[in-house]
Chain A
Amino acid sequence: MDFPKDLKYTKEHEWIRVDSDIAVVGVTDYAQDSLGDIVYLELPQEGGTVTKDEPFGVVESVKAVSDLYSPLNGTVAEVNDALIDNPEVINEDPYGEAWMIKIEIENRDEIGELLSAEDYQKYLEEEK
């Protein structure tokens, strides 16, 4: 399983790529693997707000449904609408094509609270 070093992570299995004042969010390789074949994805509207640790969307696989939790407070700057039509891409390319939303970062301090790739992997080990 792959956990790129340049990304941040959450215990809810989201990844975050910080690009100046924008945070790109998706789900981790671990998340897609645990869910298995993903068939539906619900994402918020562009311009809406998301709240740290609150659900911003839903991902559903053949065997399970799971909320997506926002890693930060902010405004939704962009939504990957193409992914809603082809949610199986989440299984194929979780860190690339399968980005979900871009958040305009409100408070940069929140970034410091996110996990590093190493911390996230350690967390996964402990959870086993």
Chain B
Amino acid sequence: MEIKKTPLYRLHIELGAKMVPFAGWEMPLSYSGIIKEHWAVRNRCGLFDVSHMGRIEISGSKSLEAIQYITTNDASRLKDGQVQYTILCNEDGGAIDDVTLYRSDEEQYLLCVNASNRDKVYGWIREKIGPSVDMTDLSDAFAQVALQGPLSCEVLRPITDMDPAGIEYYNFKECAIRGVPILLSRTGYTGEDGFEIYIPVDMAETVWQTITDSGAADLFPAGLGARDMLRLEKCYPLYGHELDEKTGPLEAGLGRFVAMEKDGFIGKDALRDRAVQKRLVAIEISDNGIPRERCRILKDGVEIGSITSGTFSPVLKKPIALGYVEERYSLLDTEVKIAIRKKTVNGRIVKKPFYKRPSTVQLA
């Protein structure tokens, strides 16, 4: 399969990005250095290309009904202009994907899905809800960037035709950046204030450049490396690591996004009856050595689980990881060991997330 390139590919090369394949896409791993880009997002702001994600529009008079059937969260609680994190589950209670759902109005919704699941999700929804709604894959019609960090509002304010601070967290507005119509959503995957911006594909470079110019020395282009580090400090799951078709929202600690009071949705019965065998835990490492995916987690020499994601946390200045352990070992403060290559390192199960942004930069 040929590797895909986003509408911003040319700019990434021009910026000297180190490119890597990710979910079938050639994406920037980093520009100036992963840790530098991470700090830019924590302290100032970073601009990510997230065009590889999938964008699926669902419309028609039966939209809400259909969405309620295929998602675990309660979409009826959404008002126009609001966004919701939700999960698509299979009949067994495993995850088909985790997505954000945008409600434009009662007959028009947008799903933002993981790059790796784009085709699967489209086909799966089609199969589950048939022709009762209109579905359009808008993925190729839009580019998508994420501006993340405490200075995001200030960077956008001079170039946007409305005050971006007026958009509340998990809300979006259709507006314009220097005359280019965009969808501006106050969402992100970094644990900082910020926006995700949907741009008509032929204006992608222009808008990226406009934002970059406005951010000047405070803005850093940021790649997948920093994105992964930031989301791990915040304990956000990444599909294919913390979630998959066997591992659903209950194991992953995402029960608050499952509306069990909602009428029949796919996976509801299984989720209700599911005896959770393993739980996702956050592990802080006290030795030098970064746990990588599939490293074994040990308790008294016995394997009790495995790592799903690990990184170095610049905030904590130590390695951190997410992993699944047997339910009975998932209590806070449990001491564990992790086998990394030829050695083992000491870790402790800690409260999620590893990082919370300081309250002084809470949303305006």
Interface positions of A (Cβ within 8 A of B): 36-37, 39-40, 42, 60, 62-63, 65, 88, 91
Q: Tell me if B18 counts as interface (CB < 8 A to partner A).
A: yes
Bound-state CA distance A116–B292 (Å) is 35
Q: Tell me if B290 counts as interface (CB < 8 A to partner A).
A: yes
Bound-state CA distance A37–B33 (Å) is 6
Distance in Å: Cβ of B198 to nearest Cβ of chain A:
29
Bound-state CA distance A37–B292 (Å) is 16
Question: B-side binding surface: helix, strand, loop or mixed?
Answer: mixed
Q: Which residues of B contact A40 (CB under 8 A)?
A: 288-290
Is B290 in contact with A36, judged by CB distance below 8 angstroms? no
Give how many B residues have a beta carbon under 8 Å from the other chain's beta carbons.
15
Q: Tell me if B312 counts as interface (CB < 8 A to partner A).
A: yes
Is B288 in contact with A62, judged by CB distance below 8 angstroms? no
Is B35 in contact with A37, judged by CB distance below 8 angstroms? yes
- Other A-B contacts than A37-B34, A62-B312, 11 sampled, CB-CB below 8 A, are A36-B30, A36-B225, A37-B33, A37-B35, A40-B288, A60-B289, A62-B34, A62-B35, A62-B311, A65-B290, A65-B341
Interface positions of B (Cβ within 8 A of A): 18, 29-30, 33-35, 225, 229, 288-290, 292, 311-312, 341
Q: Which residues of A contact B289 (CB under 8 A)?
A: 40, 60, 65
Quick one: closest A residue to B226, CB to CB? A62
Given contacts A62-B229, A62-B290, A63-B225, contact A39 B312 (CB under 8 A): yes
Q: Which residues of A contact B288 (CB under 8 A)?
A: 40, 42, 60
Q: Which residues of B contact A88 (CB under 8 A)?
A: 35
Distance in Å: Cβ of B231 to nearest Cβ of chain A:
14
Distance in Å: Cβ of A81 to nearest Cβ of chain B:
14
Bound-state CA distance A103–B211 (Å) is 51
Quick one: closest A residue to B30, CB to CB? A36
Q: Which residues of B contact A91 (CB under 8 A)?
A: 33
| 8 pairs of A and B residues whose beta carbons are closest in the complex | A40-B288, A39-B312, A37-B35, A37-B34, A62-B34, A62-B312, A37-B33, A36-B34
Given contacts A60-B289, A63-B225, contact A36 B312 (CB under 8 A): no
Question: A-side binding surface: helix, strand, loop or mixed?
Answer: mixed
Task: Identify A39's interface contact among B30, B290, B292, B341, CB under 8 A.
Answer: B290
Is A36 in contact with B341, judged by CB distance below 8 angstroms? no
Q: Which residues of B contact A39 (CB under 8 A)?
A: 290, 312
Bound-state CA distance A73–B35 (Å) is 36
Q: Which residues of B contact A42 (CB under 8 A)?
A: 288
Distance in Å: Cβ of A119 to nearest Cβ of chain B:
25
Bound-state CA distance A16–B63 (Å) is 66
Bound-state CA distance A40–B33 (Å) is 16
Quick one: closest B residue to A41, CB to CB? B288
Q: Which residues of B contact A36 (CB under 8 A)?
A: 18, 29-30, 33-34, 225
Bound-state CA distance A36–B35 (Å) is 9
Distance in Å: Cβ of B253 to nearest Cβ of chain A:
25
Q: Which residues of A contact B35 (CB under 8 A)?
A: 37, 62, 88
Is B341 in contact with A62, judged by CB distance below 8 angstroms? no
Quick one: closest A residue to B224, CB to CB? A63
Distance in Å: Cβ of B246 to nearest Cβ of chain A:
27
Quick one: closest A residue to B317, CB to CB? A39
Bound-state CA distance A36–B38 (Å) is 13
Given contacts A36-B18, A36-B225, A65-B341, contact A60 B34 (CB under 8 A): no
